[in-house]
Amino acid sequence: MSTLDRLIPINAPSDADVSLGFIPLIDSAPFVIAKEKGFFEKEGVNVVLSKEASWASIRDKVAFNLLQGAHMLASMPLASGLGVGSAKVNIQTSFTVSQNGNGITVSNELYQLMSTETNNSNEIRNGKALKSVMAKKGKNEKPLKFAMVYPYSSHHYQLRDWLSRANIDPDKDVELIVVPPTKMIDFLKNSAIDGYCVGEPWNSLAVEQGIGHMIVTGYEIWGNTPEKVLGVNQNWANANSEQHDALIRALNTACEWVDDAANLEELLSVLSHPDYLNCPAEQLRYGFSAIKPSGQFDWPMEAYQKFSSDKINRPNTDYALWLLGQMNRWGQLPAVSSLLDFAINTFDDRVYCRALNINQPCKPYSLTGLLSESDWLKGVAEDKIRIHPDGIEFGFDYL
C-alpha cells in the first residue's frame, strides 16, 4: 500500500490523544511525515493534524489547549510567554524542526525599478537599489508596502534588519502589513503589496509563475538559523511528559526521513495532497533540492532548508536571546526580570535531551561574553551585535 493510499483525513476523531496544528508550508513536512509514515504511532501516541489558516490561529488554539501543540514559528513561544500580541500563556519548545527557508520577493514592477538603479546584483540583494528607488519617490506618493507573516516572526525581523542595513527606516519609510503565507502570491499579483518576506515554497512559486523576483534569502541576512519548532502548551507538557517525549522522538525520526534524498519523490507526493500543501509536486520540489525556478536569482546552497542534525533540532538558547533582542529593537519587548532564565525555560533543551536519551551534558548557558542583559539589548538595538555570517551555531559578531 502506498503512502497516499493510507492518507488519514485530518478532520479525525475528537478523542485523539494529541492534536497538532500546522500551516501548509514546506517546513511542515516533519509533522506530515511523522503522521503518514506512522512515526507517531510507533512511539505510542495518537496524533491528529489540524491544517490552520494563520499563525494567529495556531497561537490561540495552542494557548487554549484546543491544540496541544503545533508547527510553530520559533519566536511564537517567546511572544506568547511574554504576553505580547495576545494573552500571556506559557508555550515551550524542546525541538526545532527546520532551519532556513525564508526569502524576500518583490513585484516585477519594483524589480525593474531597482534594476534601473544599478548594474550590480549585490546592490539589489543588499537593498541599496531599493533605497535609490525610494529616494526618487515624490513626497505625496504612497510608501512601498511589504508583507510578512506575523508580527513576532523571523520573517518580520529579517525584513526589518535587511531594510535598516540599507538605511531604510522600516517604521517611517515603508508600510509593513501581515498577510498569511498562502495569500502572499495573490496579494503580490493583485498589486496589493510591493514585496514580502515568507518561507518556501511561496518565493519559488512567485518566480516560477512570473509574478515576482526573489532578491535575497534569510540565510544571506542571518546565516543558518532555526525557523520552525514544535511548540506545546506548557501546562499540557508538564502533565503529559511521556507523550511530549514521544512527539519529539517521532519528529526526530521524521526529520531524518525528510532530509534523506532517497525519500524525495514520496515526500513530494504526500505533501502535494489537498489535506496538506495542495500544490503540484513539481512545484514543491523547489523547497527540497538545488533545482530552482529559472530567473535572475542565484540561490546560495547554504540557504536551502534543512531538517535533521543535533545542531538543527536542539533548542538554541542563543537564538532565543537573539529573538528577544530583535523584539526589543523594534519596540515589542516588555519588562523581563531575566532574559536568560526566560530563554532557558522557553527553549528547553533539557526535555530534548530527556526525550532522545542524550547523556552528554546539555549546552551550558551564558548570555554572551561579559555583557549585562541591558548592554546586550542595547548592542542588538544599535546593530552592533549581529549573528555570525555563517549562522547562530558560531555565535555573534560584535561590531
Helix 241-259 / helix 29-36 crossing angle, nearest 10 deg: 100
Distance of CA 20 to the CA centre of its chain: 17
Average pLDDT over residues 275-301: 75
Q: Is the dihedral of CA 36, 40, 41, 45 positive or negative?
A: negative
Average pLDDT over residues 244-250: 98
**Residue bearing the bigger pLDDT, 7 or 27:** 27
d(Cα 345, Cα 237) in Å, to the nearest integer?
13
Domain at 4-100+226-303, CATH from 3.40.190.10, 3.40.630.10, 3.40.630.40, 3.50.50.60 = 3.40.190.10
Q: Which pLDDT score is estimated for 270?
A: 97
User: Could you report the per-residue pLDDT of 311-365, keeping only the tens digit for each?
Assistant: 999 999 999 999 999 999 999 999 999 999 999 999 999 999 999 999 876 666 6
pLDDT at 45 over 70: yes
- Taking domain 103-222, whether its CATH number is 3.20.20.150 is answered by no
Specify which residues 121 forms β-bridges with: none
- Same topology for domains 4-100+226-303 and 103-222, yes or no? yes
Q: Which pLDDT score is estimated for 283?
A: 81
Average pLDDT over residues 266-285: 92
Average pLDDT over residues 70-91: 95
The confidence band for 1, taking pLDDT boundaries of 50, 70 and 90, is very low
The C-alpha angle with vertex 217 and arms to 211 and 219, in degrees rounded to 5, equals: 165
Burial class of 2 by CB neighbour count within 10 A (0 to 12, 13 to 18, 19+): exposed
User: Could you report the per-residue pLDDT of 146-167, keeping only the tens digit for each?
Assistant: 999 999 999 999 999 999 999 9
Averaged pLDDT of the chain: 90
The confidence band for 290, taking pLDDT boundaries of 50, 70 and 90, is low
Please check whether residue 230 is in contact with residue 72, taking contact to mean a CB–CB distance below 8 angstroms. yes
What ranges do the domains of the chain cover?
A: 4-100+226-303, 103-222
Q: Is the dihedral of CA 299, 302, 303, 306 positive or negative?
A: positive
Q: Which pLDDT score is estimated for 201?
A: 83
Specify which residues 204 forms β-bridges with: none
The confidence band for 299, taking pLDDT boundaries of 50, 70 and 90, is low
Residue with cell 519566536: 75
d(Cα 306, Cα 99) in Å, to the nearest integer?
5
Judge if the upstream peptide bond of residue 151 is cis by omega within 30 degrees of 0.
Answer: no
Give 3-state DSSP helix, strand, coil % of the chain, rounded to 5: 45, 15, 40
Which range, 185-189, 196-200, 274-278, has the best average confidence (pLDDT)?
185-189
- The region of weakest confidence among 141-150, 205-214, 291-300 is 291-300
Q: Which pLDDT score is estimated for 288?
A: 80
pTM: 0.92
Burial class of 84 by CB neighbour count within 10 A (0 to 12, 13 to 18, 19+): middle
Buried b (16+ CB within 10 A) or exposed e, 365-386: eebbeebebeebbbbbbeeebb
Residue with cell 531575566: 338
Average pLDDT over residues 77-85: 95
DSSP string across 227-243: -EEEEEEHHHHHH-HHH
Quick one: what percent of the chain has pLDDT higher than 70? Answer: 90
pLDDT at 63 over 60: yes
Specify which residues 49 forms β-bridges with: 20
The confidence band for 301, taking pLDDT boundaries of 50, 70 and 90, is low
Distance of CA 296 to the CA centre of its chain: 24
Q: Which pLDDT score is estimated for 200?
A: 85
pLDDT at 282 over 90: no
User: Residue 99: helix, strand or coil by DSSP?
Assistant: strand
Residue by residue, what is the 3-state secondary structure of 112-148? HHHHHHCCCHHHHHCCHHHHHHHHCCCCCCCCEEEEE
Q: Which pLDDT score is estimated for 359?
A: 84
All cell numbers assigned to 127: 537593498
The confidence band for 140, taking pLDDT boundaries of 50, 70 and 90, is confident
The confidence band for 369, taking pLDDT boundaries of 50, 70 and 90, is low
Q: Which pLDDT score is estimated for 67?
A: 96
d(Cα 197, Cα 103) in Å, to the nearest integer?
6
Average pLDDT over residues 268-295: 83
